[in-house]
């Protein structure tokens, strides 16, 4: 988002969170057991070492590249938050989710 100019590097979010960098919210790499993982960290994920939280990190499927996996964590967490936390979606609810555009566009929930 920073690279495309949709989020400014000097965003007020960095001041509110008391951090000096918004770069690196998502990461991919190997965990202590040698598994390929992807996840979300508070900031500074653009690093050689990230201390990850098991709740917001997942094993990467074998057929995915690191590049594929790096695009998933924030989008997955955003959708989870919108549907389950804010939208109160129940497990048995059926819905069709259509999103054929880029991030920050308006997805359709039917």
The DSSP letter of residue 61 is P
Rounded Cα distance, 97 and 41, in Å:
26
Is the model more confident about 69 or about 9? 69
Backbone angles phi, psi at 103, to 5 degrees: -55, 150
Rounded Cα distance, 26 and 93, in Å:
29
Q: What are the structural domain ranges in the chain?
A: 20-105
Average pLDDT of the residues in 81-105: 73
pTM of this structure: 0.64
Average pLDDT of the residues in 8-16: 55
pLDDT in tens, 36-59: 999 988 766 677 788 788 888 999
Task: Report CA 45 to chain centroid distance, whole Å.
Answer: 11
pLDDT surpassing 60 at residue 18? no
pLDDT surpassing 80 at residue 9? no
**20-105 classified as CATH 3.90.180.10:** yes
pLDDT surpassing 60 at residue 106? no
């Amino acid at each position: 988002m920073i690279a495309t100019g949709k989020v400014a590097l000097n965003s007020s979010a960095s001041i509110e969170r008391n951090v000096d960098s918004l770069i690196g919210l998502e990461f991919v790499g190997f965990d202590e057991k040698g598994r390929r993982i992807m996840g979300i960290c508070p900031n500074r994920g653009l690093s050689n070492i990230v201390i990850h939280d098991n709740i917001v990190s997942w094993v990467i499927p074998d057929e995915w590249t690191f590049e594929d996996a790096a695009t998933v964590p924030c989008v997955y967490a955003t959708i989870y938050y919108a549907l389950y936390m804010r939208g109160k979606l129940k497990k048995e609810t059926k819905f069709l989710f259509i999103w054929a555009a880029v991030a920050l566009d308006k997805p359709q929930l039917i």
